[in-house]
Amino acid sequence: MLLIRCPYCEEDRPELEFRHAGQAHIARPANMAEISDEEFEEYFFIRQNPKGLYFERWRHIHGCARFFNAARDTVSDKFVKTYKAGEKKPSVAKPKAPPAKRAAAQPASAKAAPKKAAPTKAAAKPARKAPAKRASTGGTKTRRGANKP
Ligand SMILES: [Zn+2]
């Protein structure tokens, strides 16, 4: 079970007690009525989706119910640090070693698996799916034309 440290309770608690609350450190513009539509869109809708270190808000919903911030690695899902709301964004070193190891390990296992498994199944599946997609989007004329050649 994933444990998350609540900076207010000062305990590692199960993930089920918490609720994700979006990206952290988004400052509301002071001159909201004067900003352009593009600036409002940027503030209100646009969020980061990084691969790696990410700063986000969490709420200890089934505990103290308070909001706090966390630095989390989105690749390993490891919480690097949690800290109280209102505190400055901590300087956290980006975790680079685990993603590199995973990237190196995946191609080796991916190469080994298809050789032992039936490669004919993998080759046959796209060929079966392709005519079905054309028939559903193209109608009967496209289907007849595709079958002749
Ligand atoms: Zn708490």
Distance 130 CA to ligand 1 centre (A): 52
Question: Which pLDDT does position 96 carry in this prediction?
Answer: 57
CATH topology assigned to domain 3-97: Folate-binding fold (3.30.2270)
Residue 109 CB coordination number (10 Å): 8
**Average pLDDT of adjacent 10-residue blocks, the chain of 149 residues:** 96 97 95 95 95 97 98 95 95 63 49 48 48 44 45
Give pLDDT, residue 94.
64
- For residue 123, the CA-to-ligand 1 centroid distance in Å is 52
What's the pTM?
A: 0.61
Polymer length of the chain:
149
What is the distance in A from the centroid of ligand 1 to the CA of 127? Answer: 54
Distance 93 CA to ligand 1 centre (A): 25
pLDDT for position 142: 42
Separation between Cα atoms, residue 40 and residue 30, nearest integer Å: 12
First to last CA, the chain: 56
Residue 141, phi then psi, degrees to nearest 5: -60, -40
Residue 74: CB atoms within 10 Å: 15
Q: How far is the CA of 78 from the centre of ligand 1 (A)?
A: 18
Q: How far is 70 from 81, CA to CA, in rounded Å?
A: 6
